[in-house]
Amino acid sequence: MLLNKRRREAEKEKRQGMRQAGRFNAQLMDHIRPMILPGISTGHIDRIIHDYTLDHGHIPACLNYQGYPKSCCTSVNEVICHGIPSDDVLREGDIVNVDLTSIVNGWHGDQSESFLIGHVSDQARAVVQCAFDCLYAAIDAIKPNCRASDIGTAIVRIAHERGFSVVKDYVGHGVGRKFHQDPTISHIPTPEGRRQRLYPGVTFTIEPMINVGVRDGVQDEADGWTVRTKDGKLSAQFEHTIMMNQDGPEILTLTKNGPQKGHQF
């Protein structure tokens, strides 16, 4: 009985900690939202994120993680993920994914959004819309004890119907005390995903990366982080941290001012 009590207390602590981390991370995303406009540099976005996180007594999880040099990732246009903030400015017609992770009292909140910079092409708008719709289709597809592959099945169906591809090599992941932990959340159906169950209590990210062209990416040899589409075509992504409860998935990183389920860009 004592062991069961300790487990219940540990589970309660985890749920409370993850909710707090998710709420702060969403607050941070809303804080930077009005500043992501033509003319701002991705480096300036990073500095705002860094300062706001520290000012609230928390830690930017990306900074120095496995040697990563900045406090967030900013992936512009053909960059799939892990774009490093720099002096480069956002221009009218760009799309940019801003990926934030905060450590709040030892727990991680992780999310990303793709932003349209001014007036964008129909193709740019369509791939951003697809990535957003794929995220929510995946959330709607899961329930307690379901297969992790249900996520990939939902994402692939929508992306392929609209003529886009789904990145295979970069995945969602378990998250908690550690930034990246089990389970692996593939955005395509895989044998591993069919074996993996999403039991109540597990916390993880869903973060589909959707490409206009081929699904393959190429990592920048110079910086060792930036991953671009192999064919140079656009890529978009959205991400939430999810906690599976007894009654279904709970989005921990839901923003107050950002796009909600059903939003049209």
For 45-74, how does the pLDDT look when each residue is reduced to its tens digit (9 = 90+)? 999 999 999 999 999 999 999 999 999 999
CB 84 within 8 A of CB 69: yes
Q: Which of 194, 178, 182, 176 is nearest to 241 (CA)?
A: 176
Note the pLDDT tens digit of each residue in 127-139: 999 999 999 999 9
User: Which one-letter DSSP state was computed for residue 89?
Assistant: B
pLDDT digits (tens, 9 = 90+) for 173-192: 999 999 999 999 999 999 99
Structure tokens at 14: 């985890």
pLDDT at residue 121, as a whole number: 98
The predicted structure's pLDDT at residue 3: 59
Please tell me the distance from the alpha carbon of residue 142 to that of residue 154, in angstroms, as a whole number: 9
pTM: 0.96
Which among 156, 167, 174 is positioned nearest to 219, based on CA atoms?
167
CA distance 172 to 219: 18
Using the Cα atoms of residue 60, residue 61, residue 65 and residue 68 in order, give the sign of their dihedral: negative
Beta strand pairing call for 227-229 and 107-116? unpaired
Cβ contact 209:188 at 8 Å = no
Q: How high is the mean pLDDT of the chain?
A: 97
User: 240-245 and 79-81: which strand pairing?
Assistant: unpaired
Peptide bond into 85 cis (omega under 30): no
Judging by beta carbons within 10 Å of its beta carbon (0-12, 13-18, 19+), is residue 235 exposed, middle or buried?
Answer: buried
Q: At residue 5, does pLDDT exceed 80?
A: no
Q: What pLDDT band is residue 75 in, cutting at 50, 70 and 90?
A: very high
Residues facing 115 on adjacent strands: 96
Q: Give the architecture (CATH level 2) of 2-251.
A: Alpha-Beta Complex (3.90)
264 contact partners, CB below 8 Å, separation of at least 6 = 129
Query: Tokens in use for 84?
Result: 């490093």
81, 114 Cβ separation under 8 angstroms: no
